[in-house]
Structure 1
Amino acid sequence: MTALLSIDQGTTSTRAIVFDREGRKLGLAQRELPQSYPKPGWVEHDPLRIWDDTLAVTREALAAAKLDASAITALGITNQRETTVIWERASGKPIHPAIVWQDRRTSDFCRTHQERSAWLSQKTGLLLDPYFSATKIAWILDHVDGARAGAEKGELAFGTIDSWLLWNLTGGKVHATDATNASRTALFNIITQQWDDELLKFFNVPAALLPDVRDSAADYGRTQAALLGGEIAIAGIAGDQQAATVGQACFKPGMIKSTYGTGCFMVLNTGDQFTLSKNRLLSTVAYRLNGKTTYALEGSIFVAGAAVQWLRDAVRMIGSASETENLAKSITDTQGVYLVPAFTGLGAPYWDPEARGAIFGLTRDSGIAQIVRAALESVCYQTRDLLIAMAEDALPPTELRVDGGMVINDWLTQFLSDIIKIPVVRPQTVETTALGAAFLAGLHTDVYSSLDEIAALWQTDRRFAPQQAAEKTDALYEGWKHAVERVKSH
C-alpha cells in the first residue's frame, strides 16, 4: 500500500494527515494554535510551539494510521503563507515571535510608499501591503538588537512557516522554500522566478537571509530519523491556498476554487500567463512543476472562519462552530443585521488595512441568531465581491469548487450558491489543502505520473445550485455593500 504524509500548518491549527494513493484518510491528528495580540492590529505566533505541535501531530497521525515511517512514500508540507520567522542558523532559535500574515504593524511604511505599488505589482503580482512578508522581515531586523548586523553576516535565516518546519525536520540541513511561498514574500520576481535585487534593496532585506527556491514537487531532503522513527523523503511544498488548488484539481485555465478556513481565499488558474489584475486582485504562482510556472489570480479575504472563532472565544455567543448552522436555520433572515468582519482590515478587492469590524442594523429584537447568521452571510458576500472582480479580469466562472472547515455547513454552502448565483461544488475530501501537499509529494516520487492522474481522483460530495430569487439576493448584497462603505477608512 502507498501512503503519503501531509503536514498542514495553518493559522489556527496544526494538522497531520496520512492519505492512501486515492486520497482517502488513513490517520489524522490536530492541535489548535493560539494567537497573541500584543497591540491592536498585531498578530503573533510562537514558532517553537508551531514546531512542537507539528512534531506531535505527525507522530499521532502515523499512530492513528497504524503505520511507521518506513511505510510512508513521501511527505508534503503546506502552510499559512506570508507569516514570517527569523532564526539563528547556529542554534535554530527564533529571534522574535512569528509575525502572522494578518498582522498590520507595517501599515505606515506601506502607506508612505504607495507610489511604488504599481512597480511592485509588475514584478511580484502583489500590492504594497502589510500582508506580505517583506515588511515583516524588515520590521524584525529593525526592532531586534543586533538582528540586522547578524543578517548581513549570514548568521540568520528567514523563512515562511514551510521553511521553518523544513529546517527543523531536516535538522538544519535544508533551508529552502517553494515558488508558491516565495511568490508571497514581495521579494520574489514571479516572471524571472528569482529573488529580485531591486526588491531586496527597496525593503532593505539582506539576500543572505533567504532560502533556496525550488519547484512545488521537488527533493527537499529527508526527515531526521530520530524524529519519526525513520527517515521520510520530503518531496512537496506549497502555500496553503496553492496546495488547495492542487487538491481541488484546478489544473486547467479558468478553473476556480475557494477555501474557507481562518480567511477565505479564491484562486483562479490562469495558465502559463502572468496577468495583472485591474481589480486589485493578486497575481501569484499557482504551482511550479518541472521548472514550468502556472499562474493564478487570487482574492484574499482576511476573516472567514475567524469570525466564527470570534463569536465563540471573544464574545462567547456560541460554544462551538458546529452550533452556527442550526442558529442560522432557526430564523428566516437577519432582520437587516450585517456583520463586517474587518478585524484586521479589509482584503481584496478593497485593500484597506485601517478598516475595522462593525455590526450594523441592530434593533431591540436582534439576538444571537441574527448576529451568528450575519457572520456566516458575511463570508458569502465577500465571496461575491471577489467573483465580481474575477469576472472582470478573466472569464466569469461557471461553478465554484469549495473546501475548508466551513463548507461542511450545508446552510452556509447553499446560501453561498444563492448569493453568487452559480453552482457551488463540495468535494468528497474537504481537507484539500493537506491533500494537495500529499499529491505534490506523490508527483515527485512517481506515485502519480501526471496532473491528469490526480484530477481523475477528484470526486464530488454535493453540488449546491442557486435556489433563491436573484432579486432577493441582489437586495441583500446591496445592503452588504452599504455596510462595507461605512467601515472603510477613507
Structure 2
Amino acid sequence: MTKKYVLALDQGTTSSRAILFDHAGLIRGIAQHPFRQIYPQPGWVEHDPREIASSQLGVVTEVLVSSGVRPEEVDSIGITNQRETTIVWNRETGEPVYNAIVWQCRRTTDIVEAVCGDPAVAARVTAKTGLVPDAYFSASKIKWILDNVEGAREAAEEGKLAFGTVDTWLIWQLTGGAVHATDVTNASRTMLFDIHKGTWDQELLDLFGIPASMLPEVRSSSGDFGVTAYPGMPQGIPIRGVAGDQQAALFGQCCTQAGRAKNTYGTGCFLLMHTGSTPVASSHGLVTTVAASAPGVQGLEYALEGSVFVAGALVQWLRDELGIISSASESEELARSVDDTAGVYVVPAFTGLGAPYWDSEARGAILGLTRGANRAHIVRAALESMAFQVADVAHTMEKDSGIAITELNVDGGASGNDFLLQFQSDILGASLNRPKVIESTGAGAAFLAGLATGFWEDMAQILALREHDDHFTPKMDAEEREGLMAGWHEAVRRVMTK
C-alpha cells in the first residue's frame, strides 16, 4: 500500500499532540490532549511520566481513527518534545522512580550554584556544552533525583536506572523498551554533552555525580530509532525523526543555513539562529546548541538560542488565574480596543528571567498602573511583553553573530495573533513571515522522519512546500520604538535581583 502520511508526535509542556502530514506538507489530521501540571512547592514544576506517555500514545490512536487513516498508510513517525524535562526510570520494571522534573522547575538552583559556583568550573561547563549553567537544564535535575529519592543513587550505580529527556522516554515506551536513545539536539540540552566532540562528557558526569550507565545512546536527528511495539497501538511503524521542540521548529521553518532565524511563541518563547557548522559562543547570555540536520550532513550543525521562559503561558495566566479574558483569542480583540497600554508594562518573570538577563530570582510584576488603567491595557501590555522579550534576545543574537536579523520566521500558537505579530515587527524593525502551516515544530519532526525514509527526497523538495500566507512589515518609527523599549528596560530593571 502507498505510504501517504508521516505522523508527528509533538509532546509539549502542557499537552500531547499527534499530527498527520501528507506529501504536500499539509496537516490532514490532528489530535491533542492536555495533562496535569503538578506544583508541589512554589517554583517547583512536575509531570507524571505515565500521563505524558498515555496522553501521547492516546492521541496517536485518536488521530488515525478520526482521520480515517489506516496504520499501513503511515510511512514513519517523527518525535518532537519539550526539552530538558528529566525522567529517571527503572530499566527492569519500566516504572519512573519520581515524577518528571520539568524544564521550568527551579528547585535545583542551589545545586547549580554549589556545583558551578567556581567561575573556572562554570567556564568549563559553558565551553563544553554551549550552555550557561542553570537549573533549566537536565544535569542538576538528575542529581536531585539521585540525591533525594530513596535508593535511587544505589540503583543507578548498579546500572538499574535509565535517564531520558521526554523523547527518550517516549522512544522507550513506543518500542516496548527495546531502544534507549536520544538525538543530538536533546542531548545538547542536558548540560552533560560536549557539543564539539558530539559525545557525553565524563568530566561533566563526575561533576554532577551521574553514572554514565544511565545515559541513552545519542543518534542523529534523522535516522533509525526503532519501530513501534507498544500494545494497543499500530505495530511496526518506523520511528525515524527526533528533535527537541525548538530545533524541530528551526528545521520545520527550513532554517538550515547560517543566518536563518525563527521564533516560536509557545509556552515559552524561543528564538534560534542557524550558524552552520561552526558553534558561535555567546558573550551576552545566549546559549549555543546543536541544530537538527538532514540525512547526509557530515558532522554537527549549530544554532544560537535565546529562551524566554514565559510567553503563551502568560495568556493562560490572564485567563485562568486573573480571569480577565475568557479565551486566548479574546486577547487580540481587547488589545486592539485601546490605542496603547497607558504606560502599563507586564514583566512575566514567573520563574525568573531567561536570556539575556539570566536572573533566576526575578519575579513577575505589572508596572505603571494608574487609576485609568483597565483590563484591556493589561492584556495589551501582556502581549507586548512577549514582543519586547523577543526583541531583547534578537538584538543580543545580532551582537554575538555579527548578523543582522532583517527577517524572522515565526510559528507556535500565539503566532496566530495578528496584533502580536505586527507589534513584534514594529518593535524589532524587521519583517516577519508566518508560514501557511504554523505547526512548524511538528512539521520539523515529520520532515526529519520523512527524509530518512525517502518519503521526501531532499531539502529542496521540502523548501518548495513552504508557503508563507502572511507577511508583516514594520510601521513604527524609530523614535517611538526606542521610547517603548526604554520603558520596557526600566520595567525589567525594577524586577531584577542582580
Same fold flag (TM > 0.5) = yes
Question: Secondary structure of 2:196's match?
Answer: coil
| Structure 1 residue 284, shift from structure 2 partner | 0.4
Q: Does structure 2 conserve the Cα–Cα contact (< 8 Å) formed by 1:27 and 1:63?
A: no
1: CA distance, partners of 2:263 / 2:72: 35
Q: Does structure 1 conserve the Cα–Cα contact (< 8 Å) formed by 2:314 and 2:382?
A: yes
Corresponding position of 2:376: 369
Corresponding position of 2:11: 9
Amino acid at match of 2:248: A
| Alignment counterpart, residue 170 of structure 1, candidates 166, 175, 190 | 175
| Structure 1 residue 428, shift from structure 2 partner | 0.4
Determine if the alignment matches structure 1 residue 487 to structure 2 residue 470: no
1: CA distance, partners of 2:491 / 2:21: 43
Question: Secondary structure of 1:339's match?
Answer: strand
Q: Does structure 2 conserve the Cα–Cα contact (< 8 Å) formed by 1:26 and 1:64?
A: no
Corresponding position of 1:261: 266
Question: Secondary structure of 2:8's match?
Answer: strand
Q: Does structure 2 conserve the Cα–Cα contact (< 8 Å) formed by 1:243 and 1:436?
A: yes
Compute the TM-score of the two structures, normalised by the length of structure 1: 0.98
Question: How many residues are paired up?
Answer: 490
Corresponding position of 1:85: 87
Corresponding position of 1:297: 304
Q: Does structure 2 conserve the Cα–Cα contact (< 8 Å) formed by 1:69 and 1:231?
A: no
Higher mean C-alpha displacement, 5-14 vs 219-228: 219-228
Determine if the alignment matches structure 1 residue 101 to structure 2 residue 103: yes
| Alignment counterpart, residue 476 of structure 1, candidates 478, 484, 496 | 484
Corresponding position of 2:283: 278
Once the two structures are superposed, residues 433-481 of structure 1 have per-residue CA deviations (whole angstroms, 9 ceiling, x without a partner) of 0010000000110112222222221110100000122211211111000
Question: Secondary structure of 1:77's match?
Answer: strand
Question: Secondary structure of 2:77's match?
Answer: strand
| Structure 1 residue 225, shift from structure 2 partner | 6.0
Q: Write the mapping of 1:218-233 to structure 2, written as runs, cut at 5 A.
A: 218-224=223-229, 226-233=231-238
Higher mean C-alpha displacement, 232-241 vs 357-366: 357-366
Corresponding position of 2:422: 414
Determine if the alignment matches structure 1 residue 59 to structure 2 residue 61: yes
Amino acid at match of 2:63: A
1: CA distance, partners of 2:493 / 2:4: 52
How many percent of aligned residue pairs carry the same amino acid? 53
Q: Write the mapping of 1:124-143 to structure 2, written as runs, cut at 5 A.
A: 124-143=129-148
Structure 2 unmatched ranges of 5 or more? none
Question: Secondary structure of 2:292's match?
Answer: strand
| Structure 1 residue 256, shift from structure 2 partner | 0.2
Corresponding position of 1:71: 73
Determine if the alignment matches structure 1 residue 315 to structure 2 residue 317: no
| Alignment counterpart, residue 164 of structure 2, candidates 156, 159, 163 | 159
Once the two structures are superposed, residues 400-451 of structure 1 have per-residue CA deviations (whole angstroms, 9 ceiling, x without a partner) of 0000000101111101000000101100010000010000000110112222
| Structure 1 residue 109, shift from structure 2 partner | 2.2
Determine if the alignment matches structure 1 residue 234 to structure 2 residue 242: no
| Alignment counterpart, residue 455 of structure 2, candidates 428, 437, 447 | 447
Determine if the alignment matches structure 1 residue 149 to structure 2 residue 154: yes
Q: Root-mean-square deviation (CA), in Å?
A: 1.0
1: CA distance, partners of 2:332 / 2:192: 41
Corresponding position of 1:44: 46
2: CA distance, partners of 1:140 / 1:111: 17
Question: Secondary structure of 1:267's match?
Answer: strand
1: CA distance, partners of 2:150 / 2:444: 40
2: CA distance, partners of 1:447 / 1:242: 21
1: CA distance, partners of 2:235 / 2:113: 49
Structure 1 unmatched ranges of 5 or more? none
Q: Does structure 2 conserve the Cα–Cα contact (< 8 Å) formed by 1:419 and 1:473?
A: yes
Q: Does structure 2 conserve the Cα–Cα contact (< 8 Å) formed by 1:302 and 1:346?
A: yes
